[in-house]
């Protein structure tokens, strides 16, 4: 499977009477985007705004962050099975609007939606403060149930990102990057002698607004399976969940999964990257056991030497993480775990809800309970009405002087469990 990504660097976003990309500037006509959003009768209105790095701007509550992309070669679609056909993705040529994102926001859905600050200490914790953000604030029709509201906003965000991405179709990329991986037999022959390494990619799927979708299928309904790692670059995996903002993987992160990117960089050099295994995170014990059994079986069948395992969320999913770790280790396959911690504000509590001596190689993305004071910023896109209620906040978080005392749990992407950030420590 071979995929070429062509990066079009977006240097600025402005509103105008015509949507286009010219000389690195994205001009956005609001009217067609508003029309796209209102195709769904559940959305009353959408307000568009722009947030740029370094501006005194706060975006909240953030639902998803999406990178606009466009297929320019290959018989498949962006966001396959979600808003595109269910044809297999991950090959051909894809254009990427680099340096920007579509951010969806609006009334709170699941009390675990986050904050993106474009300047100040909060901006240092979120990778999305470095992007030019086209922010879409959605207003639902009166009386709409929260699950329907989440779904409407999710689909609208993907449609808007696809619309923006298609503006890049005839633009010459500034740079290109090629990702290629053979089938398992060819990999074994071509890279004989290199350690066979896989990636066990745990997807949030606990339900009750804790959902991830694979080719449009709710991940809680899948058994662990194999993907070509290039498929994620075309949006085969998308977010639909409201886990704590700090370790939620927005769709942008799935499309730029750094574990996949880094394994590709070493492929054929120090390792043979030969398996991308996706699995889910379940609520009931029997489901956890089933999925971890299948995951370990796949690793064994593929004769892997080592795997990297990442999770999404905390608490209950920690049990899935450790089950995957221990069962794979007992197959004689080395594991490295990537997670974050909820160790209390003083860092003195147990970091994970489960643990095992076999999980002795672990990378942490930071302690989500760390407290930060966010300064008052000049502009809010969205609303501050829910700051005291979101995960990481409390009844006193919103101060009278406009500052916010809150755990970094509330900052979107602060402790990314696939390493899409800068907080880390190793043991």
242 in catalytic set = yes
Cβ(386)–Cβ(63) under 8 Å?
A: no
Question: Which of 56, 88, 54 minimizes the C-alpha distance to 71?
Answer: 88
Residue 190: how many other CB atoms lie within 10 Å? 11
* Kind and range of the H or E run holding 373: strand 371-374
Determine how β-strand 272-280 pairs with β-strand 196-203. parallel
Q: Pick the catalytic residue: 70, 97, 182, 242?
A: 242
User: Residue 247 to residues 20, 146, 204, 422: CA-CA distances in angstroms?
Assistant: 34, 22, 11, 13
How far is residue 352's CA from residue 341's CA, in Å, rounded to a whole number? 6
Give the torsion through C-alpha atoms of 261, 267, 273, 274, to 10 deg: 120
Question: Which of 164, 26, 169, 8 minimizes the C-alpha distance to 97?
Answer: 8
Return the SS3 of 33.
Answer: helix
Question: Which of 420, 298, 386 minimizes the C-alpha distance to 58?
Answer: 386
- Show Cβ contacts of residue 157 under 8 Å, excluding neighbours closer than 6 positions: 63, 64, 66, 102, 104, 136, 251
How far is residue 255's CA from residue 253's CA, in Å, rounded to a whole number? 5
Catalogue the active-site residues.
Answer: 242
């Amino acid at each position: 499977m071979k995929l070429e990504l062509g990066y079009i660097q977006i240097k600025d976003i402005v509103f105008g009477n015509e949507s286009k990309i010219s000389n690195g500037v994205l001009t956005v006509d609001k009217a067609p985007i508003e029309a796209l959003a209102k195709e769904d009768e559940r959305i009353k209105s959408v307000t568009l705004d722009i947030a740029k790095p370094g501006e005194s701007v706060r975006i909240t509550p953030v639902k998803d962050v999406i990178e606009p992309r466009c297929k320019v070669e290959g018989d498949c679609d962006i966001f396959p099975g979600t808003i595109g056909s269910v044809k297999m993705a991950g090959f051909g040529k894809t254009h990427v609007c680099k340096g920007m994102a579509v951010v969806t926001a609006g009334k709170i859905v699941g009390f675990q939606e986050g904050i993106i600050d474009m300047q100040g200490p909060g901006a240092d914790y979120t990778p999305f403060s470095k992007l030019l953000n086209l922010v879409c604030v959605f207003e639902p029709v009166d009386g709409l149930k929260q699950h329907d509201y989440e779904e409407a906003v999710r689909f609208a965000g993907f449609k808007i990102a696809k619309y923006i991405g298609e503006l890049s179709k005839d633009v010459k990329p500034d740079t290109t990057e090629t990702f290629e991986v053979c089938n398992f037999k060819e990999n074994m022959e071509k890279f004989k002698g290199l350690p066979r390494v896989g990636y066990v990619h745990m997807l949030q799927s606990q339900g009750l607004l804790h959902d991830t979708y694979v080719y449009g299928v709710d991940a809680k309904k899948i058994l662990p399976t194999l993907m070509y790692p290039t498929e994620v670059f075309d949006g085969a995996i998308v977010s639909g969940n409201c886990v704590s903002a700090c370790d939620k993987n927005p769709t942008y992160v799935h499309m730029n999964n750094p574990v996949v990117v880094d394994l590709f960089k070493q492929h054929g050099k120090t390792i043979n990257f030969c398996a991308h295994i996706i699995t889910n995170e379940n609520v009931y014990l029997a489901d956890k056991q089933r999925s971890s059994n299948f995951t370990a079986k796949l690793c064994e069948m593929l004769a892997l030497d080592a795997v990297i395992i990442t999770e999404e969320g905390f608490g209950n999913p920690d049990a899935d993480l450790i089950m995957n770790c221990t069962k794979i280790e007992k197959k004689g396959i080395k594991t490295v775990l990537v997670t974050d911690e909820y160790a209390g504000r003083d860092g003195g509590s147990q970091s994970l809800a489960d643990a095992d001596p076999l999980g002795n190689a672990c990378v942490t993305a930071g302690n989500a309970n760390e407290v930060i004071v966010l300064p008052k910023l000049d502009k809010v896109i969205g609303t501050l009405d829910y700051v005291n209620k979101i995960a990481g906040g409390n009844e006193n978080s919103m101060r009278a002087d406009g500052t916010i005392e809150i755990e970094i749990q509330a900052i979107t992407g602060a402790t990314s469990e696939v390493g899409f950030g800068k907080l880390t420590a190793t043991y």
